[in-house]
Structure 1
Amino acid sequence: MSLRLPVTLLAFALLAGCASAPSRQPAAAAPPVAVAAQPAPATVAAANDNLNAVVWTQTAIEHDLIYLQTYRDAESRLLTALKNRHWDALAKDDRTPSGKGLKPAVVLDVDETVLDNSPYQARLVRSGGEYNEADWAAWCKEEAARALPGAVEFTQFAAKHGIAVIYISNRAKDLDQATLANLRKAGLPVSGPEAFLGLGTFVEGCEQIGTEKGCRRQQIARKYRVLMQFGDQIGDFVTVLANNPEGRRRAMAPYLGWIGVRWFVLPNATYGSWEPALFNNDWSATPELRRQQKIDALRY
C-alpha cells in the first residue's frame, strides 16, 4: 500500500529539503561523446495486399497441417477406391463412354497442390511487383519449388500400389522439362513425360478453351480410371463456364458429395481464378479498380 502525506506536511518537507541542499556551481560543459553512426533503415516494400496470404502460406503451421490432413485422408481411402471397379472421380463431361478395364490413376494439379511456389510470391511482395510471365518462367527454371506437406508420401503410396500418378499443369509448354525435373527433385514420382500434361497439350477431337483442363482430363479418361483428383482451384476438377462467384458455385454444385472423398481441394489464398472472378476477369483494369471491386465483394 502506498502512503500519502498530508499536503501541509509535504510542503514543509519540500521547503526543508531546499534549505538544506548545498549551493552548486554551474557545471563545466561535458566533452562531446562520439556517437556511432547508425545504419540507414532497411528499405520497406510498399504495402501489398498479398502479404498476409503469402506469409501465412510460408510460416503458419496450420497451412502445413491442412495439406497433411488432406493427403493422409486421401491415402486412407485410396485402396478402397481401387477395389471398387465402379469408382470414378471424373466429372460427367470428362468421362469416356466406358471406363471398364482401364488402369487406375490419380490426377493432381502441380502448383500449390504438390509444389510450393510461395518463394516466387514472396519476391513479388518484397519488390511490390505483380505476376509476369518472364519472372514466373525464370522461377520455374530454377527447379527450386519444394514439395508440399503430404504430397510425396501420398503419391509414392499410390505408385507403390500400381496406381498411375498423372499431373496436369497450366505452366507454359516450354517449362515442361523444368517442371518434370523439379517434380523429381522434390521426390514426387514421375513415370515419364506422358505423366505430365502441360498447357498446350494437343487432345484429338477436343477443342481447348483457354486454360481449362477439360480436354486433358478427357485424354486421361481414354486410358485410365481416375480414382481421385487434387487441386487448389475448382478448374482442376471441372470446367468452369462462367468465372464469377455464382458460376463457380453452379459448377461445383453437382459434386459437393465428392469433396473429401474423390476430390480433394487444397488452400491457396495467394492467387487463383477466384480473384479475377471478383472483377469480371478484367486484368486490364488498374490495380486500384481491381482492389476496390474486391473490397465491394466483402460482406459485413
Structure 2
Amino acid sequence: MSLRLPAALLALGLLAGCATAPRQPAATLPAAMPAAAAVPATVAANDNLNAVAWSQTAIEHDLIYLQTFRDAQAQLLTALHDRHWDALGKGDRTTPLAGLKPAVILDVDETVLDNSPFAARGVRGGSEYNEAEWAAWCREERARALPGAVEFTRFAAKHGIAVIYISNRAKDLDQATLANLRKAGLPVSGPQAFLGLGTVVDGCEQAGSEKGCRRQLVARHYRVLMQFGDQIGDFVDVLANTADGRRKAVADYLPWVGTRWFVLPNPTYGSWEPALFNNDWSLSPGQRRQQKLDALRAE
C-alpha cells in the first residue's frame, strides 16, 4: 500500500491540473487523426502455440513430471520384491515370470526427453511436422531430460533394475538417440537397452508403429515392474484409434494407472489428435481443424 500512495496522490494532482488548464483552440487540432498502421502478419497463427508454451514455461508441467517419477520411485522397491508383480498387458506377457530379471520400460520422446524446442520451431515458422526436420533435430542430440526422469532411472539402475527405452524414432536415429540419452544423464546400459522403430522381433509381426512386438521381446527376458509413456500406445496396442477404441484399450488396466503404468502429459502431439478426424491426414489443415472444433463439448 505504501508504494502505491504517492502515485495516487500524483494522479489526483494531475487531474486537478487538467481541470483548470485552458483548452487548446479547436483550430489548432488536426482535422482527423491518422489511422494506426496495420502490422502485417508474417506467420499464420498456429494452434499448437498454447500447448508448446505450456510445456516450456508452466511450472505445473514440471511438477507433474516430478510428481509422477517420485511416486513411481517410492513404489519401485515394493514392486521389485513382489515376484508376481508385472506391468505388461495380457497380450504382451508371453513368458512366465519365474526367474526373469526385473526391468522398467520407458518411452523416450516427451517421457524422458524434452523435444519442445523442435515443436517451438514449428510454431514460430508456421510449419507442420515433417520427418526431415524431425530427424535433423534428433541428430542435434540436444533434447534435455524431463524433470524427475534422471533421478528415477538412476535409482532403478542402482537397484539392479534394467532400464529399457522403447521409441518410435526411426532406426537410423538409434545412435543419435543413445548419445542424447547419455548426454542428458539417463542411464544406458548399451544398444540392447534401446528398441527403436524397425526392431525385428522373431515370431511377431510388426503392426505399423505399435510397440507390442517390442514389449513382447522385453517380456522374454524381463519381469517388467513399470511402464512410462505419454501415449496409450506406450502401454498397450490400440486396435482402433478412435475415442471409443482408445478408452476400450485401457479399460482393463485402470487399476494399474499410478502403480504399474505412469502416464505423462503431452498436449502438443499424439495419436489422440488424428482420432478426432478419423486418422485422415489427407484432409487439409482447415478441414482437420474443423473436425477438432466439432469434437469440443460446450456443455
TM-score after normalising by structure 1: 0.86
Aligned to 2:85: 87
What is the one-letter code of the residue matched to 1:77? Q
1:43–1:189 Cα change, 3 Å: farther
What is the one-letter code of the residue matched to 1:157? F
Aligned to 2:164: 166
Q: Gapped runs of 5+ residues in structure 2?
A: 1-19, 23-38
Please state if 1:110 is matched with 2:108: yes
Deviation at 1:43, TM superposition (A): 6.9
Match of 1:157 among 128, 140, 155: 155
Aligned to 1:143: 141
- Superimposed CA distance per residue, residues 84-135 of structure 1 (whole angstroms, 9 cap, x where no aligned partner): 0000000000002411110000000000000000000000000000000000
- Superimposed CA distance per residue, residues 238-295 of structure 1 (whole angstroms, 9 cap, x where no aligned partner): 0000000000000000000000000000000000000000001111110000000000
Aligned to 1:265: 263
- Structure 1: distance between partners of 2:247 and 2:42: 39
TM-score after normalising by structure 2: 0.86
Deviation at 1:46, TM superposition (A): 1.6
- Structure 1: distance between partners of 2:108 and 2:71: 19
Aligned to 2:62: 64
- Structure 1: distance between partners of 2:40 and 2:46: 17
Correspondence list, 1:122-141, <5 A = 122-141=120-139
SS of alignment partner, residue 94 of structure 1:
coil
Does the 8 A contact of 1:89 with 1:228 survive in 2?
yes
Aligned to 1:222: 220
Does the 8 A contact of 2:95 with 2:220 survive in 1?
no
Aligned to 1:285: 283
1:287–1:62 Cα change, 3 Å: same
SS of alignment partner, residue 91 of structure 2:
helix
What is the one-letter code of the residue matched to 1:208? Q
Deviation at 1:45, TM superposition (A): 2.6
Aligned to 2:252: 254
What is the one-letter code of the residue matched to 1:105? A
Aligned to 1:50: 48
- Structure 1: distance between partners of 2:263 and 2:196: 20
1:297–1:43 Cα change, 3 Å: closer
What is the one-letter code of the residue matched to 1:212? E
Larger Rg: 1
Deviation at 1:175, TM superposition (A): 0.2
Does the 8 A contact of 2:239 with 2:245 survive in 1?
yes
Residues paired across the two proteins, number: 266
1:53–1:162 Cα change, 3 Å: same
What is the one-letter code of the residue matched to 1:292? Q
Match of 1:212 among 197, 210, 213: 210
Over aligned residues, Cα RMSD in angstroms? 1.9
What is the one-letter code of the residue matched to 2:295? A
Q: Gapped runs of 5+ residues in structure 1?
A: 1-13, 19-40
- Structure 2: distance between partners of 1:267 and 1:228: 17
Match of 1:197 among 195, 206, 209: 195
SS of alignment partner, residue 291 of structure 2:
helix
Does the 8 A contact of 2:102 with 2:162 survive in 1?
yes
SS of alignment partner, residue 171 of structure 1:
coil
1:42–1:150 Cα change, 3 Å: farther
- Structure 2: distance between partners of 1:147 and 1:284: 34
Does the 8 A contact of 1:171 with 1:199 survive in 2?
yes
Does the 8 A contact of 1:45 with 1:125 survive in 2?
no
- Structure 2: distance between partners of 1:152 and 1:82: 19
Does the 8 A contact of 2:178 with 2:194 survive in 1?
yes
Aligned to 2:17: none
Deviation at 1:42, TM superposition (A): 9.5
SS of alignment partner, residue 93 of structure 1:
coil
